[in-house]
Amino acid sequence: MHDNPRGGQIAQAVNEARGVLNAAACDFAEIRLFAGISNTITLSGSHIESFSVGESIGGSIRVLRDSAWGFISFNDISQLRKRFSRALDIASAAPSRERHAVANMPAGRASFETIMARNLETVSPAEKLECLQSYNAILRSSQSIATTRATYHDTAGRYAYLNSEGTEYTYDRAYCGISLSAIARDGSRIQPFSDSVSGYGGFEIAMNREDMAERVVRTAVDLLSAESLGGGIYRVVADQKLTGVFIHEAFGHLSEADFVFENPRLREIMVLGKKFGPDNLNVIDCGTLKDCAGYIPFDDEGVLPGETRLISNGCLSGRLHSRETALKMGEEPTGNARAVGVTHQPIVRMTNTYIDNGDRSFDEILDAASDGVYACGVIGGETNLEMFTFTAACGYEIKGGRIGKIYRDIVLSGNVFTTLTRILMIGDDRRMFGGLGGCGKAGQSPLPVSFGGPHILIDGVMIGGNL
């Protein structure tokens, strides 16, 4: 167990929560509690923009009473009994026309703990600052760099989850990461580039990232003289990171069952077994990958995650569920009900989502692309569940299967129902990516997730740009 100064307060609240839930007069109830400490350091250029340490404590209660949900959240975790009756009152104030219910799960009891090679609490503030300063010095090493932003963030605390089924989980969680950004400038041309890494673990996650800092500064400077790619329809090779964001936006969100069960027509379209892509396309969401930012030992409804195969051999084979969507669709919960913090309600979210390896080498893919664009890295992505965008941090011309000149950021766009069928080749070199950012949905952002895949070749991708 980590040395959590608020651990005692959580332990006391857990005792009270247990008593409250044992006596709960409702269909289902859960109590979530968290207390922790965060450290954040931000450097910009030659300045220390902020050096802060702060603490957060809070909790929430969600009850299902007479088929209606009530949810309350708070900072003060000392009066759970009183708050529980308030949550029941709120649920009663919601005369639901639709009957909400959840899939029941067997009770579980366990304690989880992040393994830290270098315990965050034993690393001095001075060492955290020095480490970040060393990366910032690399970011500033080119004369073309106008400014930088280097951020270090860690948070360590205890999370407790209890429900009326008797489940009781505690998780001593430590999360750490850095984000490095350099902005190159030449007269009126201003060119940013950034990268980030994060995960559950100790200070080791932030250490030895000199390579990342060097890559960031080099790419920002290279892009300064890069041209923009003109708008049009292109054959695109996506690198592993962009493949990850592609599958997150192009299919991951569509797999979230709350989107599906809400709409009768989408339920008809999203039937299991439906062909979505080529025979060698396999898409997986897996919350148990400990090295990835989307790792969870249990979800925020107390369900243990597993590997969910979303697409197998090109066909729809599964989807991501909360307890409620699973019951509604007659499927099993998958452990994908997640909240951005204890004061938010769990909703269906991804964890670590990826396209599994195919059997092509990167060289074979470039050969097959012949003429096109090699799109690399990620700025972001967004979907409306039909159309989606995914933005590459930079790109390269491919001519006759060979990589040529560099292009600046590229916004790519596709359609969730057709773009997957245009995947022509899948590589054998999958990697996973995370970072201090995360995924946003229904006002809850950023939720730590990871994404990845091998290099892939996609035909007919729309790219926005000047004509």
Among positions 259-288, residues that touch another protein (CB under 8 A) are 261-263, 265-266, 269
**Binding span for another protein by CB under 8 A among 16-24, 135-143, 161-169, 411-419:** 411-419
The answer for residues whose C-beta is within 8 angstroms of residue 411's C-beta and 6 or more apart is 389, 391, 463, 464, 465
Complex with another protein: residue 44 or 119, whichever CB lies closer? 44
| Contact flag: residue 97 with another protein (CB under 8 A) | yes
Complex with another protein: residue 11 or 90, whichever CB lies closer? 90
Complex with another protein: residue 52 or 208, whichever CB lies closer? 52
Task: Pick the binder of another protein from 166, 278, 401, 464 (CB under 8 A).
Answer: 464
How are beta strands 307-312 and 372-376 bridged, if at all?
unpaired
Residues 435-467 as b or e (16 or more Cβ within 10 Å = b) = bbbbbebeebeebbbbbbbbbbbbbebbbeeee
CB of 147 to another protein, least distance (A): 4
- Coil, helix or strand for 202? coil
CB of 122 to another protein, least distance (A): 16
| Contact flag: residue 86 with another protein (CB under 8 A) | yes
Tell me the Ramachandran region of residue 80: left when phi exceeds 0, alpha when psi lies from -120 to 50, beta otherwise: alpha
Complex with another protein: residue 213 or 416, whichever CB lies closer? 416
**Binding span for another protein by CB under 8 A among 115-123, 163-171, 256-264, 280-288:** 256-264
Q: Report the site for another protein in 113-172 (rule: CB under 8 A).
A: 125-126, 129, 146-147
**Binding span for another protein by CB under 8 A among 153-161, 312-320, 410-418, 447-455:** 410-418
CB of 463 to another protein, least distance (A): 7
Contact indicator for 461, 230 with CB cutoff of 8 Å: no
| Contact flag: residue 459 with another protein (CB under 8 A) | no
Alpha carbon distance 464, 218 (integer Å): 25
Beta strand spans in 201-288 (E): 232-238, 283-286
**Binding span for another protein by CB under 8 A among 101-109, 170-178, 228-236, 449-457:** 228-236
Alpha carbon distance 169, 160 (integer Å): 6
259-268 long-range contacts (CB < 8 A, ≥24 apart) are: 259/348, 259/385, 260/319, 260/325, 260/329, 261/325, 261/328, 261/329, 267/329
Residue 394: CB atoms within 10 A of its CB come to 23
| Contact flag: residue 36 with another protein (CB under 8 A) | no
Alpha carbon distance 178, 132 (integer Å): 8
Contact indicator for 414, 386 with CB cutoff of 8 Å: no
Complex with another protein: residue 125 or 404, whichever CB lies closer? 125
Task: Pick the binder of another protein from 23, 117, 190, 403 (CB under 8 A).
Answer: 190
| Contact flag: residue 185 with another protein (CB under 8 A) | yes
Task: Pick the binder of another protein from 7, 45, 108, 401 (CB under 8 A).
Answer: 45
CB of 109 to another protein, least distance (A): 28
Task: Pick the binder of another protein from 101, 137, 329, 385 (CB under 8 A).
Answer: 385
Residue 351: CB atoms within 10 A of its CB come to 29
CB of 319 to another protein, least distance (A): 15
Q: Report the site for another protein in 48-77 (rule: CB under 8 A).
A: 48-58, 68-76
| Contact flag: residue 221 with another protein (CB under 8 A) | no
C-alpha to C-alpha distances, 96 to 66, 88, 363, nearest whole angstrom: 8, 14, 58
